[in-house]
Amino acid sequence: MQSKRNKEWSETYKKVNHSLVEERKALNFNQEQLALFLWDGEEKLEKHRQLSKLYTADPILRNTHHYYDMTREEKMECGFKKLNRMAEVLPEKITYDTVFYHVTTNLGAMPTSLHHAMFELAVRYLGDEEQVDKWLPLILDYKIIGNYCQTEVGHGSNVRVSDSLTIGHRTTIQSEYVIAIYNYIIFSIQLFWQGLETEAIFDKEKDEFIINTPKNSSAKFWPGDLGVLSTHGVVYAQLMIEGKNLGVQSFMVPIRDIDTHRPLPGIEVGDIGPKFGFVAKDNGYVIFNQVRIPRRNMLMRYVNVDKEGKVTPQGNPKVLYSVMMFTRLQLLSGCVAGLGKSLIASIRYGIVRKQFKTAAGKDGKPEERKIIDYQTHLHRICPQLANNFAMAFATRRMYQLYNDMMSNIKTKNDFSQLGPMHTILSGMKALFCHTAYEGVKQMRECCGAAGFSQFSNIPNIIDAISSYVTLEGDSVVMNIQTARSLLKSGRKVIQTGKPLNQLLSYILDLKVILEKGKDFKCEAKDADFFKSEQNLLDLLKWNALLRIGQSLQLFADPKYKDFSLWEKFNEKFQIDLIKMSQAHSYYMTAQFFFEGINHFEKQGNCSNLVKHLRTLFRIFALNHLTKIGAPLAISKYLSPQQFRQIHQQLLQEYTNIRPQMLNLIEAFEYDDNTMVSAIGNYDGNVYERLLEWAKSSRLNEKDTLDGFDEYIRPFLAAKL
């Protein structure tokens, strides 16, 4: 029942820590089925296995722990070398798929990850046919290398809402308020990039655009792959024709000379310096001084500008969103992979590491306890394990929805799913990035000092995912986006009794709460109620709906009638909005997890496996109910006593899942070439490896460090 790779490993590795061996022997479900699900089907799993072997066998693609000790430049060089090799040996052309596989299984960033994940995608989706035909082959062969050049030093997540929207505006009667919210939502979506200051001025004479950075704050700042690599960028700028600002469009702008790799005339470009994480990426800045590009370098799939400067929309400009959406989706997967790897390390280490003689040995004498068997340790790891499976199921569902949406857009010009997808994905992006980062941090702490050593790999994972909360949409801003649509949907339900969209149909049940009023109480008879997944899912639903109802009430409350809509949104109720969005995202995630398990079961999958997944579902739901369940308490839907029962049930579930934790997480099949972890490798020989790798520290290479002889040695007494 072991998955294929785990089986191979158990046969290959000779000296394996005996506690790990024992826990693996206890495997009681079909691990292969789980691996198949986690890798999204046979084909992808097979590809993963092949690539994993290829990476491990190849002397250049293979990871080593020396990576952790490299300088920024060395890490980058290492990336260059690997990229070159990948182009040589990988069975297929490198695309954004490869990037994702590479960055989640490799130690460092891939030099051209943004080139693929955003530049390539921008061209694919925003270029018209002729443009795609022209540029895509160059991109895929690295004849040009590009970036996605949007953020400016002065404006990141900014939405500069149209000045014409009156701001002193008071909401006195409900219908006005509805309209105002609606406007706010529409404006903010359509004008998402209006804060940008970079200009693209049309010069009819020469049939060119002039790209220009008007002031300091408009310098482009942060794009990845821009600092030292890019020859081109897809630059977002205000389209100016005959003095009129026609909104933000994207432009293919050459940045460095292909021959010399020097910046082109009028362009100042460079790396922005060291960062908290993302060490191996060259996030850059660029300043344009009247840089001329041909008119046809504007990406024209959805908006055409002809020779005369005539602008013709040809489709829905909202599609600009789809690129960001795809990257956000990839971030969701990145969260699952990052947290997953840190869980593998911490679970293995937790089983191998023993501290304190507090366990009963076979002969009745006290034995040292595996640290994972301390209740607090389970309380840190199990919820994260559950989070990771929940995120994995939800992410898979999101990809399906995204693919459906994109094919509708491309084939039927049907944009109806864009809004709801945006609503769900924004909140989920915020939630997952936060969850993964917190989770990885906790796994680090679970490993004590060993998790603090780079050799655990955990700091390297933090390096990779720590920026997720900010990039591709700051979490707060993302949650606000989601919150706005929820308000709108809630309002629609109340007014028309219909959901805004099938994906958000749960909001229909808002009416149940309103109808029941004071009688809205949980019908749980006893603690067993909290053992049912359906009940737990419903609790999360009511929790989200209570938040939505409360927010609607706040906005309509005459007590606040003297506050403008801006004040309400930004000063009075913003915290409520964020909490509403979060409660919604927890529910959506749980829903997708729940449905996924049911679907999985229907396919005739191993009943033990389904049992474990249900346990993980319960841990996910119970844990979050104790954390974000305030609305259920405040509305008295649940009593304090019931919260206590929820907590007790949660503790019980830890014990249920404990024996299979290792086998569940190992179904991800991350090999040692991915883990490269002194404490989290397959064989669990942690102390030997910690010592051995320590000895290889580069500080130990030299007899004396620079500066020692000059500044320190003079102090030391020659003779004592």
CB under 5 to 8 A by kind: which of ligand FAD, a second copy, none does 114 bind? ligand FAD
Binding mask 316-355 for ligand FAD (x = CB under 6 A): -------------------------------------x-x
Question: Which tokens is 655 given?
Answer: 């014990």
Binding mask 107-146 for ligand FAD (x = CB under 6 A): -------x--------------------------------
Distances (CA, A) of 677 to 71, 281, 290, 344, 672: 19, 22, 50, 10, 8
Exactly one of 15, 307, 412, 719 binds a second copy (CB under 8 A); that residue is 719
Q: Exposure of 215 by Cβ count < 10 A (0-12 exposed, 13-18 middle, 19+ buried)? A: exposed
Cα 250 to Cα 237: distance, rounded to the nearest angstrom: 6
Asked if 599 and 500 count as a contact pair (C-beta separation under 8 A), the reply is: no
- List, in sequence order, every residue forming a beta bridge with 564; answer none if it has no partner: 170
Backbone angles phi, psi at 103, to 5 degrees: -70, -20
Using CB under 8 A as the binding rule, the residues of this chain from 509 to 528 that contact a second copy are none
Using CB under 6 A as the binding rule, the residues of this chain from 210 to 229 that contact ligand FAD are 222-224
Asked if 231 and 144 count as a contact pair (C-beta separation under 8 A), the reply is: yes
CB of residue 107 to a second copy, shortest distance in Å: 13
Exactly one of 62, 134, 377, 441 binds ligand FAD (CB under 6 A); that residue is 377
Using CB under 8 A as the binding rule, the residues of this chain from 230 to 269 that contact a second copy are 231, 258-259, 261-262
Distances (CA, A) of 329 to 93, 100, 115, 441, 463: 22, 11, 17, 22, 19
Residue closer to ligand FAD, measured from CB, 4 or 658: 658
Question: Which tokens is 430 given?
Answer: 């915020």
Residue closer to ligand FAD, measured from CB, 222 or 506: 222
- Nearest alpha carbon to residue 111 among 75, 163, 65, 66: 75
Residue closer to a second copy, measured from CB, 4 or 377: 377
Which residue is it, tokens 């019980």? 652
Backbone angles phi, psi at 695, to 5 degrees: -60, -25
Exactly one of 150, 384, 479, 660 binds ligand FAD (CB under 6 A); that residue is 150
Using CB under 8 A as the binding rule, the residues of this chain from 431 to 460 that contact a second copy are 444-445, 448-449, 451-455, 458-459
Cα 488 to Cα 496: distance, rounded to the nearest angstrom: 12
Q: Does the active-site annotation cover 199?
A: no
- Please report, to the nearest 10 degrees, the dihedral formed by the alpha carbons of residues 458, 463, 469, 474 taken in order: 180
CB under 5 to 8 A by kind: which of a second copy, ligand FAD, none does 39 bind? none
Asked if 425 and 328 count as a contact pair (C-beta separation under 8 A), the reply is: yes
Q: Could you tell me the end-to-end alpha-carbon distance of the chain, in angstroms, rounded to an integer?
A: 67
Asked if 593 and 428 count as a contact pair (C-beta separation under 8 A), the reply is: no
Using CB under 6 A as the binding rule, the residues of this chain from 459 to 488 that contact ligand FAD are 467, 470-474, 476-477, 480
Cα 257 to Cα 638: distance, rounded to the nearest angstrom: 66
CB of residue 375 to a second copy, shortest distance in Å: 4
List Cβ neighbours of 624 (8 Å cut-off, separation of 6 or more).
Answer: 540, 586, 590
CB under 5 to 8 A by kind: which of a second copy, ligand FAD, none does 420 bind? none
- Please report, to the nearest 10 degrees, the dihedral formed by the alpha carbons of residues 142, 144, 147, 150 taken in order: -150
CB under 5 to 8 A by kind: which of a second copy, ligand FAD, none does 712 bind? a second copy
Residue closer to ligand FAD, measured from CB, 444 or 612: 444
Cα 592 to Cα 391: distance, rounded to the nearest angstrom: 9
Binding mask 458-497 for a second copy (x = CB under 8 A): xx--x---xx-xxx--xxx---------------------
Annotated catalytic residue, options 23, 152, 199, 472: 472
CB of residue 376 to ligand FAD, shortest distance in Å: 5
Confirm or deny that 151 is annotated as ligand binding.
yes
CB under 5 to 8 A by kind: which of ligand FAD, a second copy, none does 690 bind? a second copy
Confirm or deny that 195 is annotated as ligand binding.
no
Using CB under 8 A as the binding rule, the residues of this chain from 618 to 647 that contact a second copy are 630, 633-636, 640-641, 643-644
Residue closer to a second copy, measured from CB, 576 or 601: 576
**What radius of gyration do the chain's Cα atoms show?**
27
Using CB under 8 A as the binding rule, the residues of this chain from 171 to 200 that contact a second copy are 195
- Nearest alpha carbon to residue 481 among 569, 561, 369: 569
Residues binding ligand FAD: what is the number (CB under 6 A)? Answer: 34
CB under 5 to 8 A by kind: which of a second copy, ligand FAD, none does 223 bind? ligand FAD
Exactly one of 369, 511, 531, 611 binds a second copy (CB under 8 A); that residue is 369
CB under 5 to 8 A by kind: which of a second copy, ligand FAD, none does 704 bind? a second copy
Distances (CA, A) of 93 to 60, 79, 90, 141, 151: 18, 17, 7, 8, 29
Say if strands 199-203 and 232-241 run parallel, antiparallel, or are unpaired: parallel
Helix (H) or strand (E) holding 315: none
CB under 5 to 8 A by kind: which of a second copy, ligand FAD, none does 512 bind? none
710 is a site residue for a second copy (CB under 8 A): yes
Exactly one of 64, 314, 355, 413 binds a second copy (CB under 8 A); that residue is 355
Residue closer to a second copy, measured from CB, 417 or 466: 466
Which residue is it, tokens 């370098």? 297
Using CB under 6 A as the binding rule, the residues of this chain from 249 to 288 that contact ligand FAD are 278, 283
- Nearest alpha carbon to residue 250 among 344, 395, 147: 147
Cα 360 to Cα 693: distance, rounded to the nearest angstrom: 34
CB under 5 to 8 A by kind: which of ligand FAD, a second copy, none does 148 bind? ligand FAD
Binding residues, as ranges, are 151, 224
Query: Which residues contact ligand FAD by CB under 6 A?
Result: 114, 148-151, 156-158, 222-224, 278, 283, 353, 355-356, 371, 374, 376-377, 445-446, 448-449, 452, 467, 470-474, 476-477, 480
Binding residues for FAD, as ranges, are 151, 224
Q: Just list the catalytic residues.
A: 472
